[in-house]
């Protein structure tokens, strides 16, 4: 295929028409249809498990469709490997990271296509320079020689984006690329994406955030339960219309926060310091209270709660739960005192992908479900069933492997696992990241209910509406220090954003 023949064709660049895909009994995609045009950014939206990533993987050649039509540049195609789609000019940013942890950032970006010098030697200098150029464009500050192991999820995501963009592809597919990024990083990505669109390339963008879909995309296709529902021009649709198409009903109350009775101090953190990461952090959270840690991605919020819970060390300070001082660096002590932490990187730290849903949900409560050393399957299933249905985990059976669930449904399983421990202090890091609009409202309702039952909740969220909609009290973290504290009444978007972007001296 030459460029001129591609440029002179009219009609869509890529077409999927009534494409279906099943895995054994599970129908992942019933009837997926989509048309990508040159010079246009197409959003694909739908609830968790609607089949979005399955479409992505079929286009990429990772899965083969069972039926339906797939055309690329006007010709029918059957990609049977990811190399084939890549060679045909399709670059994909997958929802789950695909980096090799032991290879450097640069090696990951050039995996399988390293530029060579004479005699086949790899041109390391050229690779490094290209990486630096890409990072400059995306505003990434990561050492190109660093192994990707240990990079934050945001940085890993940025490396994935740089890798896809470096392919200089005709079609760029992005499956929830922004889920882990900060506002500035999202803006940079969008600038790059718009640049590619204006050069005449075809882009596809998946996100659960409507503000992003409306800011970036030209067209939007909605899916529900594996089926195509509708395609509209962005200019001719609205959030409400899209939500109705996605969910099949109106979602009226995103933040069903009830007033709960605020009780005794459940957990208090005093003077917590980890040199170079966070400094002199003190706060307490009371039973019945939802305390939000707001701030920009990278401000140190996750690091603070991880240290308080005991998964990371700290240098100074104390953490007290219901009167007992927690031993530093000992998460099992924290758990024994009724503290649960639902981590941010749920794929890596949360779900056991090779185990079933029921096993995952009861993982942290198995001791309690055991009688005389035996775990009763019936008890395990009852407990798992209850939580799976409260969180609307979409799966055919409780023994479905967690690894085969959609990204959002894996998150729900991890949340269920921790809720099943019935903690007294619940720490949730980005509770609704990657979760669809209907379930988001459900998770909010659940948090509000739990607070109403006397739980103390600490939540970290980068979504300001979520912070303002759910918190009784907001603490703002900037560069590892607390730069603001607001009651629910005082917490305006302006006040929180100001504290999130200014040093302590400037805030006061």
Ligand X SMILES: Nc1ncnc2c1ncn2[C@@H]1O[C@H](COP(=O)(O)OP(=O)(O)OP(=O)(O)O)[C@@H](O)[C@H]1O
**Quick one: which of 359, 466, 471 has its CA closest to 420?**
359
From edge to edge, which strands make up the β-sheet containing 473-478?
339-342, 425-429, 456-460, 290-294, 473-478, 481-487
**From 230-238, 243-251, 398-406, 443-451, span contacting ligand X (CB under 6 A):** 398-406
Separation between Cα atoms, residue 266 and residue 192, nearest integer Å: 46
**Quick one: which of 174, 180, 181, 172 has its CA closest to 139?**
181
Q: Which CB, 95 or 156, lies closer to ligand X?
A: 95
Q: Which of 408, 423, 431, 484 binds ligand X (CB under 6 A)?
A: 408
Q: Which of 95, 157, 237, 432 binds ligand X (CB under 6 A)?
A: 95
Residue 412 C-beta: closest distance to ligand X, Å:
9
**Quick one: which of 154, 208, 185 has its CA closest to 43?**
208
**From 46-54, 113-121, 234-242, 366-374, span contacting ligand X (CB under 6 A):** 46-54
Residue 462 C-beta: closest distance to Mg ion, Å:
20
Q: Which of 15, 16, 19, 28 binds ligand X (CB under 6 A)?
A: 28
Q: Which of 15, 40, 41, 51 binds ligand X (CB under 6 A)?
A: 51
Per DSSP, which regions of 384-500 are E strands?
425-429, 456-460, 473-478, 481-487
| Region of residue 266 (phi > 0: left; psi between -120 and 50: alpha; otherwise: beta) | alpha
Strand 339-342 and strand 425-429: pairing?
parallel
Decide: is 31 part of the binding site for ligand X (CB under 6 A). no
Binding partner at 50 among ligand X, Mg ion, none, C-beta below 5 to 8 Å by kind: ligand X
Is residue 460 within 8 Å of residue 297, measured between CB atoms? no
Question: Of 7-26, which residues contact ligand X (CB under 6 A)?
Answer: 23, 26
Residue 374 C-beta: closest distance to ligand X, Å:
30
Count of residues binding Mg ion (CB under 5 A)? 4
**Quick one: which of 198, 130, 135 has its CA closest to 161?**
135
Q: Which CB, 203 or 456, lies closer to ligand X?
A: 203
Residue 497 C-beta: closest distance to Mg ion, Å:
30
Question: Of 419-438, which residues contact Mg ion (CB under 5 A)?
Answer: none
Decide: is 409 part of the binding site for ligand X (CB under 6 A). yes
**From 11-19, 35-43, 294-302, 406-414, span contacting ligand X (CB under 6 A):** 406-414
Q: Which CB, 58 or 267, lies closer to ligand X?
A: 58
Residue 224 C-beta: closest distance to ligand X, Å:
10
Question: Of 213-232, which residues contact Mg ion (CB under 5 A)?
Answer: none
Residue 99 C-beta: closest distance to ligand X, Å:
19
Based on DSSP, count helices (H) and strands (E) in the chain, helices before strands: 20, 22
Is residue 395 within 8 Å of residue 308, measured between CB atoms? no
Decide: is 247 part of the binding site for ligand X (CB under 6 A). no
Is residue 302 within 8 Å of residue 274, measured between CB atoms? no
Separation between Cα atoms, residue 37 and residue 200, nearest integer Å: 9
Question: Of 28-67, which residues contact Mg ion (CB under 5 A)?
Answer: 52-53
Is residue 217 within 8 Å of residue 41, measured between CB atoms? yes
Binding site for ligand X (CB under 6 A): 23, 26, 28, 46, 48-54, 95, 394, 404-409
Chain residues binding Mg ion by CB under 5 A are: 52-53, 95, 407
């Amino acid at each position: 295929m030459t460029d001129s023949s591609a440029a002179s064709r009219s009609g869509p660049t890529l077409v999927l028409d009534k494409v279906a895909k099943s895995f054994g009994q599970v129908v992942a995609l019933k009837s997926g249809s989509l048309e990508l045009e040159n010079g246009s950014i197409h959003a694909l939206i739908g609830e968790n498990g609607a089949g979005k990533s399955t479409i992505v993987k079929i286009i990429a050649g990772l899965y083969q469709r069972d039926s339906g039509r797939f055309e690329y540049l006007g010709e029918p195609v059957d990609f049977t490997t990811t190399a084939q789609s890549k060679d045909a000019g399709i670059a994909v940013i997958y929802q789950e990271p695909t980096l090799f942890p032991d290879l450097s950032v640069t090696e990951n970006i050039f995996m399988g296509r390293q530029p060579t010098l004479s005699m086949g030697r790899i041109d390391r200098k050229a690779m490094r320079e290209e990486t630096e150029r890409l990072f400059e464009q995306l505003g990434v500050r990561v050492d190109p020689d660093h192994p990707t192991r240990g990079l934050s999820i945001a940085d890993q995501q940025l490396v994935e984006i740089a890798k896809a963009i470096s392919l200089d592809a005709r079609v760029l597919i992005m499956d929830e690329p922004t889920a882990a990024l900060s506002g500035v990083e999202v803006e940079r990505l969008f600038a790059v994406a718009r640049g590619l669109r204006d050069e005449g390339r075809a882009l596809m963008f998946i996100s659960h955030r409507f503000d992003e879909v409306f800011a970036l995309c030209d067209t939007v296709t909605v899916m529900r339960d594996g089926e195509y529902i509708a395609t509209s021009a962005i200019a001719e649709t609205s959030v409400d219309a899209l939500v109705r198409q996605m969910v099949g009903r109106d979602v009226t109350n995103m933040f069903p926060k009830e007033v709960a009775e605020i009780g005794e101090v459940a957990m208090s953190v005093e003077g917590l310091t980890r040199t170079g990461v966070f400094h002199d952090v003190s706060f307490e959270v009371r039973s019945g209270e939802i305390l939000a840690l707001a701030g920009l991605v990278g401000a140190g919020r996750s690091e603070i709660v991880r240290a308080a819970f005991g998964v990371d060390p700290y240098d100074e300070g104390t953490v007290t739960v219901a009167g007992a001082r927690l031993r530093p660096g000992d998460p099992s002590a924290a758990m024994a005192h009724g503290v649960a932490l639902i981590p941010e990187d749920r794929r890596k730290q949360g779900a056991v992908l090779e185990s079933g849903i029921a096993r995952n949900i009861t993982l942290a409560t198995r001791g309690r479900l055991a009688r005389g050393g035996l775990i009763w399957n019936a008890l395990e299933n009852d407990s798992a069933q209850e939580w799976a249905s409260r969180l609307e985990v979409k799966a055919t059976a409780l023994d479905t492997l967690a690894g085969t669930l959609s990204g959002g449904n894996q998150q729900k399983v991890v949340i269920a696992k921790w809720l099943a421990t019935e903690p007294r202090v619940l720490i949730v890091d980005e509770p609704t990241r990657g979760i669809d609009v209907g379930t988001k409202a459900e998770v909010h309702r659940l948090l509000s209910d739990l607070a109403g039952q006397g739980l103390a909740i600490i939540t970290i969220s980068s979504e300001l509406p979520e912070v303002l909609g759910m918190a009784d009290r907001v603490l703002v973290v900037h560069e590892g220090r607390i730069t603001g504290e607001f009651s629910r009444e005082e917490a305006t978007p302006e006040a929180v954003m100001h504290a999130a972007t200014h040093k302590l001296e400037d805030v006061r």
